[in-house]
Structure 1
């Protein structure tokens, strides 16, 4: 009887517990990162750092990600246009910064000049050398057709930034790289970039990209030019770390990049990135002493 009363009391308490609160509690105590492709409980993490890598797909080692008509940027852009991939406005890729599809399309459109823009072509009214044509009363009225937005070619988006966690799994006694998000940029030297600096387009969850790549085995490929019978899926290529990218930022309290620490010259910034990479490898070796 006492056992029955206890069971009934527990049932009553659970019945009056708000569903949202119960879900929130389970979500907080879950201990797993929803952005991770390889799910590892936080209690297994002995050490973790967050890194940002800049990947230039025009570099020789990264060319397989950028094969003609199979560009990584092409796969991503078409997926967003078709509504099967969600873009985000920052690399934190949480629900609070989901980018509207219209905003994404605006980011990949060519910039247009206003009619009165002196740098956009045409003549000004007070220009004495401007061409002047009289109105022809017998001329047919010219019909101006409205055209849709003109998009920047997919191959122009060749810069990507990878945000990843580097952690030591105490259970398996090894270091893992866990890609969290990938951001796409328009290079500063692109003909379609008037600002001259790299223009961020959008960020994407890597777990979403991985599932997208796996659903497109014939389109989303890492092109193996040495053996075309052994192309790899883009998702597998990222997991196998077939890309080459330099570290541009390590998580820090001031949220500054490596180049800002060594701003004297571009060469010093690049050397500093390699130094960070070497320090991480040395740290991994030292972990085996514990």
Structure 2
């Protein structure tokens, strides 16, 4: 009888333990965007890293192929209501699809006629719908001159930021790249971006993106230029780390980027290379003892 109760108690304890573990992982995934969360009890080392991805780079072009751009896949999913957009990587507040569309748009106002156009005989005077000049005192068109809003082309959105936790799992004795979020950014170099600075469009949970990529296999394609029969899903491309990136921030008390810490863009690039080398050296040293 005692053995029976002991076995029952052990079974119940294991069930509760598994349920607690599953609940811990589910809670972690829902709160921070991780697709395969690692239980805190298994984490020996963790460092939060922000990486920049330039989709124009040769290694990144497979996820930016014509008509299958990752920016197109993401934005189309937002417009369909399939993907939730967030205001930043804290994932505490959200954007509506209309707000996201506004973030990826720019205004283009009518600046009037150039000197060449005026010399060619064009006039800025009001005209009717047939193009005939309107006489003074006559009613003018009710259509006001306003700034036209235009969305950036998907090819223009070649800048992304990826937030990850670099984790050493002591149970499996290996380092993991636990991706949390991906942010679409309007590049600072676009002529239509008059602000001259990078502008975030929206941030997305990586776990949500994986679902979108899996649910749209005909669109979410990592293009294999060597073999058309071996294209991969974008979710697989991220899991296999088939892209190039560079570190722009490593977690620090001031939440500052490397170029802010070291006083300039050039110094930030050098610090990025050093940060990558330091992380590799840390992992190497773990195996040296």
Q: Which of residues 98, 104, 118 in structure 2 aligns to 1:102?
A: 98
Q: Which residue of 1 aligns with 2:282?
A: 283
Q: In the TM superposition, what is the alpha-carbon distance from 1:143 to its structure 2 partner?
A: 8.2
Q: In the TM superposition, what is the alpha-carbon distance from 1:289 to its structure 2 partner?
A: 3.9
TM (norm. structure 2) is 0.79
Q: In the TM superposition, what is the alpha-carbon distance from 1:282 to its structure 2 partner?
A: 0.3
CA RMSD of the aligned region, Å? 2.8
Matches within 5 A, 1:1-290: 30=24, 33-34=28-29, 35-93=33-91, 96-113=92-109, 120-121=111-112, 131-132=124-125, 135-136=134-135, 150-264=150-264, 266-289=265-288
Q: Tell me the distance in 2 between the aligned counterparts of 1:226 and 1:234.
A: 17
Q: 1:281 to 1:98 in 2, by over 3 A?
A: same
Unaligned runs of 5+ in 2: 1-19, 115-121, 127-132
Structure ranking higher in strand proportion: 2
Q: In the TM superposition, what is the alpha-carbon distance from 1:154 to its structure 2 partner?
A: 1.2
**Number of residue equivalences:** 250
Q: Tell me the distance in 1 between the aligned counterparts of 2:228 and 2:144.
A: 45
Q: In the TM superposition, what is the alpha-carbon distance from 1:142 to its structure 2 partner?
A: 6.3
1:62-81 CA-to-partner distances (Å, cap 9, x unmatched) read 11111000000000111101
Q: Tell me the distance in 1 between the aligned counterparts of 2:279 and 2:142.
A: 64
- SS across alignment from 2:28: coil
Q: In the TM superposition, what is the alpha-carbon distance from 1:33 to its structure 2 partner?
A: 1.9
1:30-80 CA-to-partner distances (Å, cap 9, x unmatched) read 366212211321100011000000000011111111100000000011110
TM (norm. structure 1) is 0.78
Q: 1:181 to 1:143 in 2, by over 3 A?
A: same
Unaligned runs of 5+ in 1: 1-25, 124-128
Q: Tell me the distance in 2 between the aligned counterparts of 1:173 and 1:226.
A: 34
Q: In the TM superposition, what is the alpha-carbon distance from 1:260 to its structure 2 partner?
A: 1.3
Q: Do the aligned partners of 2:166 and 2:178 also contact (CA within 8 Å) in 1?
A: yes
